Amino acid sequence: MRRDIGTDDPRVRVRPGKGSRPRTKIRPDYSSASTAEVVGVDRGRYRLVLADGLAVTAVKARELGRGSVVVGDRVRVTGDVSGKKDTLARVVSVEARASRLLRSTEEGNGRERCIVANAQQLAIVTALADPPPKTGMIDRCLVAAYDAGMEPLLVLTKADLASPDRLLDSYGALGLRAVVVDLGSRRDVDARRLEEGDAEASGLEALRKALAGVATVLVGHSGVGKSTLINALVPDADRATGEVNAVTGKGRHTSTSAVSLALPGGGRIIDTPGVRSFGLAHVSPQDVLRGFTDLAAIAENCPRGCEHGWDSPECALSEQTDLRLIARTASFRRLLAACTEDWS
């Protein structure tokens, strides 16, 4: 029997009454679904690698929401997981993340966006020239690494154009691991064409050892040589490379989306598009302090609510007399300042 809606006009649409069927709170159980790792995201399609190494393409379940699945995530999938052409699986849930690399939105409203998940190491790629290095960008990436609980690694490229000594000295107090790579002017570097002696001399072998066995995400400006490094480390990657603009001194975006690639010696390397801004509005001084275990112990004597800045009254970090701790404190406060400074 049709409910009386007070009119016979068929154009009038009325919402269902309260007697309609309620939505159930019982959700499907996906504990027995296949597990996979997200290795690529491109326009609504997710490239996954199953536990047995099979590559499949999937879409995301609507209930997961926008931006809920990123490269590095471990997910549960249902549907067609055969990996055959023109088949699609379905990502139905995301496992708990061991780490998250976050950046705040450019509007500065404190909303953070996850870039990569479950990476153990953050490689900050910086060119020594063409384009010149920007310490503000390095400082911000270091803050992001400490906040995410990742091990930072400084990778200096284009060592044939400038000396790395001055830049390395400025980060000496942080105890930051650094690798200097010199691949010359070759843009089509292929690891299969590099002799063992050439790889050792160029710093590529040292970089391979630093990346072996862990998931590493590359972050840096456009034009610093991230894609060139990828092509040298992963023979079949075939990542596009580009020239630096001679007028602006800036690189051109050649990587448009993040992608995770397996390294021949074990581990994974995640290539990300060149960044123009790296918001840190979501990071607090305590988040940065987690990367300085020696200073964190001293900071326990600070008054409640201490910001640990240069002008913070009665800050215990300002009372140190040991030269090493003084240098460490100065580096820590420089990173704090990088959270609010504009480096673009």
**For the chain, what percent of residues have pLDDT higher than 90?**
29
pLDDT of residue 184: 59
**For the chain, what percent of residues have pLDDT higher than 70?**
79
Q: Both 214 and 310 in a single domain?
A: no
Backbone φ and ψ of 287, nearest 5°: -65, -40
Q: For position 173, which CATH number holds?
A: 3.40.50.300
Average pLDDT score over residue span 54-61: 94
Q: Is residue 279 part of a domain?
A: no
108, pLDDT greater than 70: no
Calculated CA dihedral for residues 277, 283, 286, 292, nearest 10 degrees = -30
Q: Both 295 and 264 in a single domain?
A: no
Q: Both 126 and 261 in a single domain?
A: yes
Query: What is the helix (H) or strand (E) element at residue 57, kind and residue range?
Result: strand 55-60
Q: Both 263 and 297 in a single domain?
A: no
Residue keyed to tokens 């010696």? 265
Q: Is 131 left (phi over 0), alpha (psi -120 to 50) or beta?
A: beta
Q: Is residue 7 part of a domain?
A: no
Two structure tokens written together for 28: 């499907």
109, pLDDT greater than 80: no
Domain boundary among 223, 238, 271: 271
**Cα–Cα distance between 259 and 218 in angstroms, integer?**
10
Q: Is 158 left (phi over 0), alpha (psi -120 to 50) or beta?
A: left
Average pLDDT score over residue span 67-74: 91
Average pLDDT score over residue span 233-257: 55
Average pLDDT score over residue span 40-53: 91
What domain range includes position 186?
Answer: 121-271
**Cα–Cα distance between 75 and 58 in angstroms, integer?**
11
pLDDT of residue 55: 94
Q: How do residues 170-228 score in pLDDT, each as one tens digit?
A: 888 888 899 998 875 444 444 434 444 444 546 888 899 999 999 999 998 878 888 88
Q: Is residue 277 part of a domain?
A: no
Q: Is residue 101 part of a domain?
A: no
**Cα–Cα distance between 101 and 275 in angstroms, integer?**
13
Cα-to-chain-centroid distance, residue 76: 22
